[in-house]
Amino acid sequence: MEKFILNEIKKMEGTLLGIGLHNEKFLSAIKKNKKIIICNFLNEPKKGFKKKKFQVNERSRTVNIKKLRKIFHRKKTDNIICNLKVIKPFLKSFVKDSVYINRKTLYIYGNKNEIKDLVCKYKRYTDKLQIKAYGPKAILIIDNTDTKNNFFKDLGYWWQDTFNNILDILTNILAN
């Protein structure tokens, strides 16, 4: 899995947004790539209990993950690489925001079962999805070149996801 992501990083051009990248190999490959013009990393702050807030690069202020649209405007980011563990609590807003801000490709890596569950949320926007499985881990590759957002569509999907989350909580309570 790491080799695939490293090869993709070497091919990237333009702007890059990395969310939850803690692997030193990925960070060094990004620094070596001269074709990446602007690179922003969203990492969890080291101090405090701000679960929704992330730091853009090292010395900047913290940013709420739900306000990605205000920072990275419509179709301005070419590539996004995400760790699923970091964005999992924010999937309701992250799915629509990632489609909104991304111009080319989106890479999400994590557990294979969780990636398969995430596929149905991205199929709402595009059919250009690929899953590459490497043992218990997998990578979801989404091509966002022709995707479009609609306010009412996003609102409907938000309510649908909220209803599904409530049903999951109720089934867990009833099962226990």
Q: What is the pLDDT of residues 42-79, one digit of tens each?
A: 876 555 555 556 656 555 566 666 777 777 877 888 89
Residue 20's CB: how many other CB atoms inside 10 A?
Answer: 20
pLDDT tens digits along 107-129:
999 999 999 889 988 998 888 99
pLDDT at 106 over 60: yes
Residue 28 has pLDDT above 60, yes or no: yes
List, in order, residues 6 or more apart from 165 with CB less than 8 Å away: 92
Ordered by where they begin, the domains of the chain are 2-150 (3.40.50.150)
In this predicted structure, the answer to whether residue 81 has a pLDDT above a threshold of 90 is yes
Phi, psi of 18 (to 5 degrees): -110, 125
Instruction: Identify the three-state secondary structure at position 23.
Output: coil
